[in-house]
């Protein structure tokens, strides 16, 4: 079976990053009314921030690394909500569940974990041959080692389990 060659899309990556940042920044400015009601001011601010991201290669790399992970998380959440609705859970119950602290804090923690891992991958030096001595980000590399992340994940699960069990008992 022939494979599709998508290597040419790498050349469009800066354009996709620019459009993504532009749309997200404009949506946030418009939703939270951070710059008032004037749409042209919000457009100029969103365009300026997107241009800054366009000319910064580490920022573009960060967006290129995190966007697919958040897209996968979003699709997974939509599939999970669809399964619950297919089973027959009312939409109002799903809205209440999503607004519950027990649901959105793990989502925030997972998002911060993905963002931290992407930050480490983008901004680690990796140039051992430039100067002798220990690497700059060795401590961060130790924190994002799979064994450490697994231990942190298990501790978070244990903390939530203890909290929920103690709430149900008391």
Catalogue the long-range contacts made by 148-157 (C-beta closer than 8 Å, 24 or more residues apart): 149/113, 156/106, 156/109
Q: What is the pLDDT, as a whole number, of residue 133?
A: 52
**pLDDT (tens place) for every residue of the chain, 170 residues total:** 677 777 777 888 888 899 999 999 999 999 999 888 999 999 999 999 999 998 988 898 889 889 988 999 999 999 999 999 999 999 999 899 888 888 888 888 888 888 888 888 887 755 554 555 555 566 667 777 778 778 788 888 888 888 878 787 76
Q: What is the pLDDT, as a whole number, of residue 116?
A: 85
Q: What is the pLDDT, as a whole number, of residue 146?
A: 79
Q: Supply the pTM of this predicted model.
A: 0.65
Extents of the domains making up the chain: 1-55
């Amino acid at each position: 079976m022939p494979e599709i060659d998508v290597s040419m899309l790498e050349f469009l990556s800066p354009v996709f990053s620019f459009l993504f940042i532009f749309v997200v920044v404009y949506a946030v400015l418009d939703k939270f009314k951070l710059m008032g009601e004037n749409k042209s001011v919000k457009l100029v601010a969103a365009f300026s921030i997107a241009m800054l991201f366009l000319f910064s290669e580490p920022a573009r790399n960060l967006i290129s690394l995190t966007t697919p992970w958040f897209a996968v998380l979003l699709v997974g959440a939509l599939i999970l909500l669809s399964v619950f609705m297919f089973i027959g859970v009312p939409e109002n119950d799903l809205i209440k569940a999503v607004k519950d602290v027990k649901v959105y804090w793990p989502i925030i923690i997972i998002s911060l974990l993905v963002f931290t891992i992407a930050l480490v991958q983008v901004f680690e030096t990796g140039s051992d041959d430039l100067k002798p001595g220990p690497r700059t980000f060795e401590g961060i590399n130790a924190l994002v080692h799979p064994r450490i992340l697994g231990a942190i994940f298990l501790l978070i699960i244990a903390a939530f389990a203890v909290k929920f069990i103690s709430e149900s008992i008391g």
